[in-house]
Every structure is written in C-alpha cells, then in structure tokens.
Chain A
Amino acid sequence: KAGVTQTPRYLIKTRGQQVTLSCSPISGHRSVSWYQQTPGQGLQFLFEYFSETQRNKGNFPGRFSGRQFSNSRSEMNVSTLELGDSALYLCASTDGTDYTEAFFGQGTRLTVV
C-alpha cells in the first residue's frame, strides 16, 4: 500500500515569489492536513481538507492557502514568500475520522532566499 507522497522534495524560491506544494494521500484516505515544521516553532498545523472542503484552519496568515481535488490530492500555496517561510512542509493523511492517527509524507523542504 503506497504511503503519502509529497512533491517536490526540495524547493528554493526567492522572496516575493509564490510556491505550490502537492500531496497525494494514502489510497482510500479522504482527509489531508498540512503542517509547517521549523526548528524554533516545531510542528504547527496549517489547515485540513476533507472531500474538497476546508474543515479546519490554524493560525497562519492568508498567504497560506490550499485546496483539495476530487481524487483527494491536495495542494498548498504560499504567496509573497518571506524568508521566515523557509521550513519543512508536511502533509498528513487520515480516513477523515476524528481523533484518528495521521500518516505523514516525507515533506517538502522549502528554502526562501
């Protein structure tokens, strides 16, 4: 059974640019959550999508957005990149049931220069 797939694995962008990250969940899972991981703040929840609808959102500015497609694949977009956006971006897949374990992808390492 394939795991959670994130692409690309690495990205280097310039301040002010925008970036789109992709996540394909485990087959049969309909929920995708996104997290930002930095050395200073650790893992922080961005948002969650289920059946193409955002069900939950963390405390991040509007520059961070996402969407989910009918095949449950999800994309996350960050506009007007700042140096502080450099981080490991992780997506997690669940079956959508509340309080169930989440399975993470390998992450996308974003570096903003």
Chain B
Amino acid sequence: EDQVTQSPEALRLQEGESSSLNCSYTVSGLRGLFWYRQDPGKGPEFLFTLYSAGEEKEKERLKATLTKKESFLHITAPKPEDSATYLCAVPPGWAGGTSYGKLTFGQGTILTVHP
C-alpha cells in the first residue's frame, strides 16, 4: 500500500528564516508527486508536480525537489503570508494500475511564519 509521511508535523519560523519540509513516500514505481498548499477552511491549492528524481520546480519563495525516496519543499526567506498547511500527494505507482483521480496524501506540515 502506498504511503506518504510528512515531517515535521508543525514548523514555526521567524520571517526571513529559511527552512525545508520533508515528504517521504513508499510507492512501487513513482509516477509523480504533487505539492499543495491549504489555508484553513479552504481547498488545497496546487503548487508543483515532480515526475522524476533530480527534478526541481520553483515558484516565488518555494522550491520543490525530488529524490528516489523523498521530496523537499524549501522555503526561502518566508513571509507571514506563507503560513499554511503544506501537503504532498502521490498517485498509485506502476504496480497499482491506473490512477484515475486517486491520490494518497500525507498528513501535512503546518507552517507558521511570525513577523
């Protein structure tokens, strides 16, 4: 069974203090990894898709990277508006057949950035 584990569960940063969030996955034949941001009471907002080890994607202060076992979301010089829950998710691997909408999500990292 596919598993996604995110760490830490919660992270408090001062504005400008860079850090990284971790997403470890157990999937037989990874076919993609997605990062989302979720604000309280709202739906997840898509951030990045990573398909192969070594791939990197950037958007403003965020950079996502992927290895064969985990993904990192690096946050550079965060601002209070970056405070949110960050989720990663994977579709079924090659051994799991077609994906058709199914994603396995991690429990998320709650990021709080203090001014």
Residues of A at the B interface (CB closer than 8 Å) are: 4, 6, 31-33, 42-45, 47-48, 50, 55-56, 58, 88, 90, 92, 94, 98-107, 109
Contacts and interface: CB of A to CB of B under 8 A. Distances in A.
Q: Interface residue tally of chain B, by bracket?
A: 20 to 34
A105 B41 CA distance: 11
B107 A42 contact: yes
Chain A residues touching B, majority SS: strand
Contacts of B105: 42-44
A6 B42 CA distance: 11
Given A42-B105, A42-B106, A43-B105, A104 B100 contact: no
Contacts, number: 71
The residue among A92, A99, A106 with the most chain B CB atoms within 10 A of its own CB is: A99
Interface in B78-115: 87, 89, 91, 98-108
Given A43-B105, A45-B103, A98 B43 contact: no
Contacts of A107: 41-43
Contact of B43 (A42, A50, A99, A104): A104
- List of 3 A-B pairs having minimum Cβ-Cβ separation, nearest first: A48-B101, A33-B101, A104-B43
5 contacts: A45-B103, A48-B100, A48-B102, A99-B91, A101-B46
B17 interface: no
Contact of A4 (B34, B43, B103): B43
B31 interface: yes
Contacts of B100: 31, 48, 50, 55-56, 98
A25 to B, nearest CB: 11
A102 B46 contact: yes
B45 interface: yes
A39 to B, nearest CB: 10
B49 A31 contact: no
A98 B98 contact: yes
A45 B101 contact: yes
